[in-house]
Amino acid sequence: MYDILKIALVQSNLVWENPEQNRINFRNTIEAITDPVDLIILPEMFTSGFTMNADPVAENMTGKTIIWLQQLAQLKQAAITGSLIIKEDHKYYNRLLFVHPDGTIDHYNKRHTFTLAGEHKVYESGAQHKIITYKGWKLKPLVCYDLRFPVWSRNTEEYDVLFYVANWPKIRIAAWDTLLKARAIENMSYCVGVNRVGLDGNGYEYSGHSAAYDALGERLDTIPEAKEAIDIITLDKEHLSTYRTKLGFLKDRDTFTLK
């Protein structure tokens, strides 16, 4: 059991539909992290950008990026997470991978595909919640558009950290900022979001705004806007236990089931 969890937020530009170059860039970035960390978070579709041209950049669960992630996780003795395009049973998924230092993998398929961009026409929607147990912490992974749907993130599993990986464009960044903070407050959990920067192949601009909040909605990070950057934050179990006991808001939550 660890009472402290150190997380590196990696806010980065992405090379459009070029997994090899993105792997090179992220390897250089990750190897440059000198402080010991427990978890490294990369953006959504970190090997390609948010593309609907899935087939040329899709991989399977034994592909180059999987092996690359396992090697890096072992090298850094830290878990690494982010989403990429996975092809499985002739279907495409926007799949978040959580690679443990020992090489084992947890995964979560994005539930809410972004219909405005036609994501639902290319990628299968996930149907399962996922709780990842890591170093005594319970982590709930979600992807980008999932942020707009609070029922899907509702803390019915007593998780400690809710985190999102994203390609959330600058034009709607106010929603990202507001909802990340709201998810932390309403779920009495840490909430972390890692977004990309730069321009994608469709001309959309991304301004980052990666962030981390504690259970009271207080900002923990100092990551700059619209720049590639790494910020290391420290999460403390005592913060959660203190305020969940003192305030008791989760005990008053509504019960419901999802179909």
- Which residues are marked as active site? 44, 110, 144
Tokens describing residue 24: 């090179």
Cβ pair 139, 148 in contact under 8 A:
no
How far apart are the C-alpha atoms of 233 and 207, rounded to whole Å?
20
Tokens describing residue 251: 């005990």
Cβ pair 28, 248 in contact under 8 A:
no
How far apart are the C-alpha atoms of 79 and 73, rounded to whole Å?
6
Tokens describing residue 19: 């997994």
**What does the angle CA 118 – CA 82 – CA 116 come to, to the nearest 5 degrees?**
15
How far apart are the C-alpha atoms of 43 and 49, rounded to whole Å?
9
**What does the angle CA 100 – CA 232 – CA 178 come to, to the nearest 5 degrees?**
100
